[in-house]
Amino acid sequence: MNNLAHMATGFVAALLEAWQELRIHKLRVLLSLIGVTIAVASLTTAVAGASMAKQMMTEQLERQGRPALISTYAMDPSGQGIPRSSAEVSQAFAKTSERFNIEYTSMIGRTYGPQASYQGLNAETTVQVVDPSYGPMHRIFAQHGRWLESEDAKNLSPAVVVDKGLFTELGLDKGSLPATIDLKSGGDTVSVTVIGATSTRDMGMGGELWMLPQTYEHWFASSAPLDDVSYVMWVPIEGSEELAFEFARQMRAELPGYMVDSNRQDYLAWGADETLSQLSLVVGGISGIILLLGSLSLLNVAMVTMKQRIREVGIRRSFGATTGRIFFSVMMESVVATAVAGGLGVMISVALVTNPKLINSVLAMGIDDMPGFPVDAALLGMGVSIAVGALTGVLPALVAARVRIVDAIRV
């Protein structure tokens, strides 16, 4: 217990000594640490930026469907190859997916060009006819109001969800939900109720509007049949290719004469994540080189300074400092200094990476949902700076510990 208390006191004292030394030589320390600060800031920014970009890209890509997303088309020979919607196909899909015990399934039908109007404001829109599972399958959630539910099919006023683009174009706000808007499609105008709005925005495609198949069938299908229809299901990645093959085979059995095709449609199936990994490697490599140069400059300054501090080491030894304590104190000076520099570097990185204006100007795209600064990048920055401090502290610490007291005092 006594030894433990003695060690704890020694540790606290070494930290205090290190801090005192840094305080006294703050200008020298500051200058020698600029390289480390810049290196840690760039390394952390590279890692955090890549991680955040990856997260943003993943979220964007997952809006096209979360892996593994299997898309199924059923083309009847009379439809000249265009996937058609019919009760027969829908039933076959429902029956087959139930047989495979697939929980998340949705129909996707689109019609382009309907006009949405609200209090004198008009906007062109793409109507997507989907089942409630479509939302979680595509990482689409209601930011205001709520997403579609099965019960909405029974509503006397057709329930719809709009995206952020349409929500803004129609001048809607959070307080106005649920809002009744007019939807003109195929010559008919129907009043529909906007029950929710998502945070997504369809880049350059105008606003999007979602409704249930039953709703579309009841109110719009007669005047504006859907342009193309497919069916999607969200399944575990493992075995998804085999499942798609088998699913298509069984669908064909259910739909004699139809051409059925099922395949993966999510971003992992076409390798979108590899580019980002390579970018992270390149930026990380450059940061590593900066860090190495910064460390060498730090080591150089530390070695020169230690030569000038030999007498001080001798004086401390005369107070009873052991070689171990001198070694630890000198190394702690380096560690504390680089930890402070690393902390500063991480703060600079956080300020850069979480600045929406800067990110938008660099990435040249409007990001509405800024992901949080990745904690692992901050921890990596701190860890690297402490490791650099320990590594660059070893040599001067060895020099200090090997000083002969008698010689040192006479210097």
Partner 1 sequence: MSAAQLLQLTDVTRSVLLPDDSQLHILNGINLTVTEGDHIAIVGRSGTGKSTLLNILGLLDRPTSGTVAWRGKDASGLSARRAAAARGRDLGFVFQQFNLLPGRTALENVMAPLMYASGRDFWQRRKLASEALDRVGLGSRLDSMPQTLSGGEQQRVAIARALVRRPRVVLADEPTGALDVSTGRAVMELLDAATVDSGAALITITHDANVAALARQQFRLESGLLHPLSLEVA
| Residues forming the site for partner 1 (CB under 8 A) | 5-6, 9-10, 13, 16-17, 20, 24-25, 311-312, 315-325, 405-406, 409-410
By beta-carbon proximity to partner 1, the closer residue of 130 and 331 is: 331
Neighbouring C-beta atoms of residue 376, cutoff 10 Å:
12
Which amino acid, one-letter code, is at 89? V
By beta-carbon proximity to partner 1, the closer residue of 155 and 323 is: 323
By beta-carbon proximity to partner 1, the closer residue of 266 and 333 is: 333
Q: How far is the CB of 346 from partner 1 (least distance, A)?
A: 29
Q: Which two tokens stand for residue 345?
A: 């570097």
HSE of 401, CA atoms in CB hemisphere, 13 A: 16
Q: How far is the CB of 392 from partner 1 (least distance, A)?
A: 22
Q: How far is the CB of 16 from partner 1 (least distance, A)?
A: 7
Q: How far is the CB of 67 from partner 1 (least distance, A)?
A: 59
Rounded distance between C-alpha atoms, residue 263 and residue 270, angstroms = 12
Rounded distance between C-alpha atoms, residue 302 and residue 396, angstroms = 6
Q: How far is the CB of 7 from partner 1 (least distance, A)?
A: 9
Does residue 33 contact residue 22 with C-beta atoms inside 8 Å? no
Q: How far is the CB of 50 from partner 1 (least distance, A)?
A: 43
By beta-carbon proximity to partner 1, the closer residue of 394 and 405 is: 405
In order of 94, 404, 410, the CA distances from 317 in angstroms are 83, 9, 13
By beta-carbon proximity to partner 1, the closer residue of 255 and 397 is: 397
Torsion, Cα of 381, 385, 390, 395 (10° steps): 140
Given the DSSP bridges, would you call strands 104-118 and 179-185 parallel, antiparallel or unpaired?
antiparallel
Q: How far is the CB of 399 from partner 1 (least distance, A)?
A: 17
By beta-carbon proximity to partner 1, the closer residue of 5 and 364 is: 5
Given the DSSP bridges, would you call strands 159-162 and 188-198 parallel, antiparallel or unpaired?
parallel
DSSP for residue 200: -
Q: How far is the CB of 9 from partner 1 (least distance, A)?
A: 5
Long-range contacts of 49-54 (CB under 8 A, 24+ apart): 49/283, 49/353, 50/276, 50/279, 50/280, 50/283, 50/284, 51/280, 51/374, 51/376, 51/377, 52/353, 52/371, 52/373, 52/374, 53/276, 53/279, 53/363, 54/273, 54/276, 54/280
Among all chains, which residue has been given the structure tokens 């001067």?
Answer: 396
Does residue 299 contact residue 40 with C-beta atoms inside 8 Å? no
By beta-carbon proximity to partner 1, the closer residue of 154 and 307 is: 307
By beta-carbon proximity to partner 1, the closer residue of 178 and 324 is: 324
